[in-house]
Amino acid sequence: MAEHTWPGTTLVAAAQRGDVEALSALVYGSYPHVHRFAHTLCATPQDAEDAAQEALIILYRKIGMLRASGALASWMFRIVRNECLRRARSLLHRGPVDAPDGLGASGRSDAIGGTARSAEEDVLLRLEAERVAAAVAALPADQRQVLVMRDIQGLPGRTVADRLGLSTAAMKSRLHRARSAVREALHEEADREAVTRGADDGI
C-alpha cells in the first residue's frame, strides 16, 4: 500500500540535485518508515522519537551522501539503528528503564502511544518540512546556491568554492550567512507562533 512505500528514486535524485520541494517531500514521505524503525529498535519511546527526528535531520542535510538512490531504506535503517544504539549506551549509564524486557516491551507500548499521536505528528512534520523549504527558498540566490551544494548535495567545501569561483573563506562566509538566515527565519516563526498561542490562551 502507499503508506508502506518509500519515496521513489526519481524523488531522491531530485532532492540530491537540490530541488527544495523534492527534499521536503522526501523527508515527509520517509517519516512513517523512519518512525517505525525507531520504535522497533530503540529502548524507550522518548529515545525512539529523538532518534527518528535526528535521522530525518541527517536525511535533510546529508542526502547528497547517499550513493545509490534506491538504497534510501537501508541507509536510513543504519542511521536509526546507530542512533538507537548510541542512546541505549547512554541509557545504561542513567540506570535501568521501567520496562524490564527492553525492545519487546517498548515495541508494544510504542505502538499504542505512536498510533495515538501519529496523525498530529504527521501534520507537524509536514509543516516543519514546509517551513524549512520555505526558509531555504527565501534566501538570496547566492546564499541558496551555496547552502544547497554544501548541505543538501553534500559536496566538499573546496568543491563548492571551486564551482562557484570563490575562495574557501568566501564560501564559508556565504554558507554561514545562509545557515544563520534559515535558523533565524525558523526561530522568528516559532516566536510568532508562541506569541499567538499565548494570546489565544489569555482570551
String of DSSP letters for the chain: -GGG-PPPHHHHHHHHTT-HHHHHHHHHHHHHHHHHHHHHHSSSHHHHHHHHHHHHHHHHHHGGG-SSGGGHHHHHHHHHHHHHHHHHHHHHHH---SSTTHHHHHHHHHHHHHHHHHHHHHHHHHHHHHHHHHHHHTS-HHHHHHHIIIIIS---HHHHHHHHT--HHHHHHHHHHHHHHHHHHHHHHHHHHHHHHHHHHH-
Kindly report the average pLDDT of the chain as a whole number.
Answer: 74
Q: What are 10-25's pLDDT values in tens digits?
A: 999 999 888 888 988 9
Residue 116 pLDDT > 70, yes or no?
no
Residue 97's pLDDT is what?
A: 40
pLDDT-derived band at 173 (thresholds 50, 70, 90) equals: very high
Using the predicted structure, report yes or no on whether residue 50 has a pLDDT greater than 80: yes
Would the pLDDT of 114 be above 70? Answer: no
pLDDT in the model for residue 89:
63
* 120-152 residue pLDDT tens: 555 555 666 667 777 777 888 888 888 877 876
Provide mean pLDDT across the span 146-164: 83
Distance CA 152, CA 141 (A): 15
- Of 143, 149, 123, nearest in space to 183 by CA: 143
Residue 132 vs residue 28, higher pLDDT? 28
pLDDT computed for residue 46 by the predictor: 82
| Helices 20-41 & 9-16 angle (0-180, nearest 10) | 120
135 or 102, which is more confident: 135
